[in-house]
A and B are shown apart, each in its own frame.
Chain A
Amino acid sequence: MENIETKLREEAKRLLLEKKADVIVGYEKGTLPLTATPCFITTPEEADKLVWNDLCTQNLAKFVHDLITQHKNSQKRVKPEDRKKKVIGVVARGCTTRSLIIHLQERQYGRDEVYIIGVPCTGYMDVKKLKVAVNGADIVEGSIADGKISITTAEGEKSIALKDVLAESCRTCRFNNPIISDTMVGSPVPAMNPDHEYDDVSEFEKKSIEERWTYFTKEMEKCIRCNACRQACPSCYCPTCFVEQSQPQWVGIGEDKTDTQVFQLMRLYHMVGRCVDCGSCVAVCPMGVDLRKFLKKIDKDCWELFGNRAGSSMEDTPPLGKYSENDKEEFIFNP
Chain B
Amino acid sequence: MAENLASKDWEPKIVAIVCNWCTYAGADLAGISRIQYPPNVRIIRVPCTGRINPFYIVKALQTGADGVLVSGCHPGECHYISGNLVARRKFAALKSFLSYIGMEGDRTMFTWVSASEGDRFAQVIRGVTAKVKALGPATKLKKKLG
Q: Does A214 contact B (CB under 8 A)?
A: yes
Q: Does B36 contact A (CB under 8 A)?
A: no
Whole-angstrom CA separation of A333 from B99 in the bound complex: 15
The answer to whether B109 and A305 touch across the interface, beta carbons within 8 angstroms, is no
- Picked from B76, B97, B100, B124, the residue with its CB within 8 Å of the CB of A333 is B124
Interface string of A301-335 (1 = CB under 8 A from B): 11001100000000000011111110111011111
Q: Which residues in B have their C-beta under 8 angstroms from that of A320?
A: 86, 89-90, 93
Nearest CB on B from A188, distance (A): 32
Q: Does A109 contact B (CB under 8 A)?
A: no
Q: Does A112 contact B (CB under 8 A)?
A: no
The answer to whether A262 and B59 touch across the interface, beta carbons within 8 angstroms, is yes
Given A258-B142, A262-B62: A329 and B97 within 8 A (CB)?
Answer: no
CB-CB contacts below 8 Å: A123-143 with B: none
The answer to whether A328 and B92 touch across the interface, beta carbons within 8 angstroms, is yes
The answer to whether B143 and A298 touch across the interface, beta carbons within 8 angstroms, is no
Q: Does B20 contact A (CB under 8 A)?
A: no
Q: Which residues in B have their C-beta under 8 angstroms from that of A297?
A: 96-97, 100
The answer to whether B96 and A213 touch across the interface, beta carbons within 8 angstroms, is no
Q: Does A204 contact B (CB under 8 A)?
A: yes
Given A209-B104, A333-B128: A323 and B92 within 8 A (CB)?
Answer: no
Closest to A334 in B: B111
Q: Does B29 contact A (CB under 8 A)?
A: no
Q: Which of B85, B92, B95 has the most chain A CB atoms inside 10 A of its CB? A: B92
Interface size class of B (residues with CB under 8 A): 35 or more
Given A323-B82, A331-B110: A269 and B92 within 8 A (CB)?
Answer: no
Closest to B74 in A: A332
The answer to whether A213 and B103 touch across the interface, beta carbons within 8 angstroms, is yes
The answer to whether B127 and A305 touch across the interface, beta carbons within 8 angstroms, is no
Interface size class of A (residues with CB under 8 A): 35 or more
Q: Is the interface of B mostly helix, strand, loop or mixed?
A: helix
The answer to whether A333 and B104 touch across the interface, beta carbons within 8 angstroms, is no
Whole-angstrom CA separation of A269 from B88 in the bound complex: 15
The answer to whether A269 and B93 touch across the interface, beta carbons within 8 angstroms, is yes
The answer to whether A301 and B82 touch across the interface, beta carbons within 8 angstroms, is no
Closest to A220 in B: B101
The answer to whether A242 and B101 touch across the interface, beta carbons within 8 angstroms, is no
- Picked from B59, B95, B123, the residue with its CB within 8 Å of the CB of A250 is B59
Q: Which residues in A have their C-beta under 8 angstroms from that of B143?
A: 252, 256, 258-259
Q: Does A272 contact B (CB under 8 A)?
A: yes
Nearest CB on A from B68, distance (A): 12
Q: Does A294 contact B (CB under 8 A)?
A: yes
Closest to A322 in B: B86
Nearest 5 Cβ contacts at the A-B interface? A213-B102, A335-B127, A212-B102, A323-B85, A216-B101
> What residues make up the interface of A, taking CB atoms closer than 8 Å to B?
204-205, 209-216, 242, 250, 252, 256, 258-259, 261-262, 265-266, 268-269, 272, 294, 297-298, 301-302, 305-306, 319-325, 327-329, 331-335
